[in-house]
Copies of this chain bind each other. A is one copy, B any other.
């Protein structure tokens, strides 16, 4: 394998399974630009180009926009083990997500066989008990750092049943008080709501991971934007998810101002 070998665009397309058009496109946007063969300007791809294409295709497979793939590859252009670790984690995350959905579908299959007719709200309940760490992963993918996820995972695995009881009790209490504040007409950016949002944030920090204000805001957006959370909070009180989201935002602004 000492041979100095280069490939035409057609050969690379055949090897990799992407089209010539795709390779042109990647060249045009600058994510994979091969050398050019004088005097006709034909593209020639080297082995390192193939390596790079392989990484591109992997991240594309997992749904990353090309612009983001470009950023990833710039950050760690040559360090193969960095990519491998990242890819491994991403794959594991994706599988875990799909496994959760499978569990939901299986539960519904059971319910369906028992001829239980669930309402739309009840259907969301099948997602199981609400645990922030189930969803913080998504917040991280959107806004945060993977250290928080690992930290959360590390802590959670050490908890006893008593720990879970206490955690749940505190979580329920915060929810209840949020609903009460909403019911009493408290402003989402008032002191009371902000203090509750702060308690909410510290609860996560206490039990799961260090939840900075950025992450917290991301979580708040997710409570409103994701039907699982929204329904969860709607069950407690109508419009609670939005109230909490707004309180979280106000709380973050308060913290930023001080």
Contacts and interface: CB of A to CB of B under 8 A. Distances in A.
A231 B14 CA distance: 10
A51 B120 CA distance: 7
B106 A88 contact: yes
A14 B88 contact: no
A51 to B, nearest CB: 6
B123 A105 contact: no
A69 interface: no
Interface stretch (A96-104, A140-148, A178-186, A200-208): A96-104
A226 B61 CA distance: 14
A224 interface: yes
A22 interface: no
A96 to B, nearest CB: 10
Interface in A190-241: 224-227, 230-231, 234, 241
Contacts of A119: 1, 47
B120 A105 contact: no
A168 interface: no
A108 B86 CA distance: 13
Nearest to A85: B109
Given A14-B230, A15-B231, A95-B95, A105 B87 contact: yes
A112 interface: yes
A234 B98 CA distance: 35
A170 interface: no
A80 B17 CA distance: 36
Interface string A22-55: 0000000000000000000000000100110010
Given A105-B87, A230-B14, A95 B92 contact: no
A80 B2 CA distance: 59
Contacts of A234: 15
Given A14-B242, A17-B230, A88-B105, 7 more contacts: A16-B227, A54-B123, A80-B112, A81-B113, A84-B108, A87-B105, A94-B98
6 contacts: A1-B121, A14-B230, A84-B108, A84-B112, A88-B102, A91-B102
